Structure 1
Amino acid sequence: MKAFRMLGGLALASALLAAPLACSAATLTVTHWGDGMYGAPFAVAMEKGYFKEGGIDVTGFITSEGGGTTVRNAMASEIPYGEVALPAAIAAIKQGMQITIVHGGVQSLADQLWVQNPDNTITSMAQMKGKTMGYSSPKSVTDLVSTVAIERAGLAGQVNRKPVGSSGSMMIALQQKTVDVAYITEPSYSAHKDLLKIAFRSVDIVPKETQTVGIVRTDYLKAHPETIKAIIDARRKGVAYLIAHQDEAAQILAKAYKMDLAVTKSAIQTCLQNDPHYWSTGGFDRASMDEVAKGLVLIKAADPGPFDWDKVIDDTLLPASERAK
Structure 2
Amino acid sequence: MRKMLTAAAAAVALSFVGSLAAQAQGVQISVTHWGSQLYGLPYAVAMEKGFFKEAGIEVSGVLTSKGGGTTVRNVFASDFPYGEVALPAAVAAAAEGFDLRIIHAGTVAHSNIWMTKLDSPIKTVNDIKGRRIGFTSPRSVSQTTMFMILDKLGLKRDEVTLVSTGAIGAGFTALESGGVDATLASEPQASMYAGKYRIAFAAADILPPVTQTVGVTTPEFLKKEPKKLAALIAGRAKAVEWSYANLEEAGKILSKAYGLDEKIAISAVRNMAATKFWGRGDMDVAPMNEMIKGLKLVDAIKGDPDWNKLIDRSLLPADLRS
Matches within 5 A, 1:285-304: 285-303=284-302
Give the stretch that moved more between structures: 144-153 or 207-216.
144-153
Whether the 8 Å CA contact 1:24–1:55 is kept in 2: the answer is: no
Q: Distance in 2 between matches of 1:195 and 1:150?
A: 27
SS of 2:211's equivalent? coil
Structure 1: segments with no counterpart, 5+ residues: 1-21
1:189 deviates by 1.1
Whether the 8 Å CA contact 1:116–1:180 is kept in 2: the answer is: yes
Q: Distance in 1 between matches of 2:144 and 2:224?
A: 37
2:124 aligned with 1:124: yes
Matches within 5 A, 1:94-173: 94-109=95-110, 111-156=111-156, 157-173=158-174
Give the stretch that moved more between structures: 214-223 or 45-54.
45-54
What does residue 241 of structure 2 align with? 240
Q: Distance in 2 between matches of 1:154 and 1:241?
A: 40
Whether the 8 Å CA contact 1:107–1:285 is kept in 2: the answer is: no
Which letter does structure 2 place at the counterpart of 1:269? Answer: R
What does residue 312 of structure 1 align with? 310
1:100 deviates by 0.3
2:302 aligned with 1:322: no
Whether the 8 Å CA contact 1:99–1:217 is kept in 2: the answer is: yes
1:112 deviates by 2.2
Q: Could you tell me the percent identity over the aligned residues?
A: 41
Whether the 8 Å CA contact 1:23–1:52 is kept in 2: the answer is: no
SS of 1:93's equivalent? helix
Which letter does structure 2 place at the counterpart of 1:319? Answer: P
- Write out the 4+ residue segments of structure 1 that deviate beyond 6 Å after TM superposition: none
What does residue 17 of structure 2 align with? none
SS of 1:193's equivalent? coil
What does residue 32 of structure 2 align with? 31
What does residue 12 of structure 1 align with? none
1:238 deviates by 0.8
| 1:74-103 deviation digits (Å, cap 9, x = unpaired) | 111121000000000000111111110000
SS of 2:230's equivalent? helix
1:264 deviates by 0.8
TM-score scaled by structure 1?
0.89
SS of 2:194's equivalent? helix
Structure 2: segments with no counterpart, 5+ residues: 1-22
| 1:12-33 deviation digits (Å, cap 9, x = unpaired) | xxxxxxxxxx665211100000
Which letter does structure 2 place at the counterpart of 1:178? Answer: G
SS of 2:115's equivalent? strand
2:226 aligned with 1:228: no
1:126 deviates by 2.5
1:56 deviates by 2.4
Whether the 8 Å CA contact 1:23–1:55 is kept in 2: the answer is: no
| 1:115-134 deviation digits (Å, cap 9, x = unpaired) | 10111031233221211110
Which letter does structure 1 place at the counterpart of 2:134? Answer: G
1:316 deviates by 1.1
| 1:124-164 deviation digits (Å, cap 9, x = unpaired) | 33221211110011111100011111222222111101011
Q: Distance in 2 between matches of 1:174 and 1:198?
A: 13
Matches within 5 A, 1:194-205: 194-205=195-206
Q: How many residues align?
A: 299
Q: Distance in 1 between matches of 2:144 and 2:56?
A: 39
What does residue 268 of structure 2 align with? 267
What does residue 6 of structure 1 align with? none
Whether the 8 Å CA contact 2:25–2:60 is kept in 1: the answer is: no
Which letter does structure 2 place at the counterpart of 1:297? Answer: K
| 1:156-204 deviation digits (Å, cap 9, x = unpaired) | 1111010111121011010001101111000111111111111111112
Q: Distance in 2 between matches of 1:145 and 1:269?
A: 22
Whether the 8 Å CA contact 2:121–2:127 is kept in 1: the answer is: no
What does residue 7 of structure 1 align with? none
Q: Distance in 1 between matches of 2:56 and 2:152?
A: 48
Q: Distance in 2 between matches of 1:127 and 1:278?
A: 26
Which letter does structure 1 place at the counterpart of 2:136? Answer: S
What does residue 72 of structure 1 align with? 73
Q: CA RMSD in A?
A: 1.2
Q: Distance in 2 between matches of 1:58 and 1:281?
A: 18
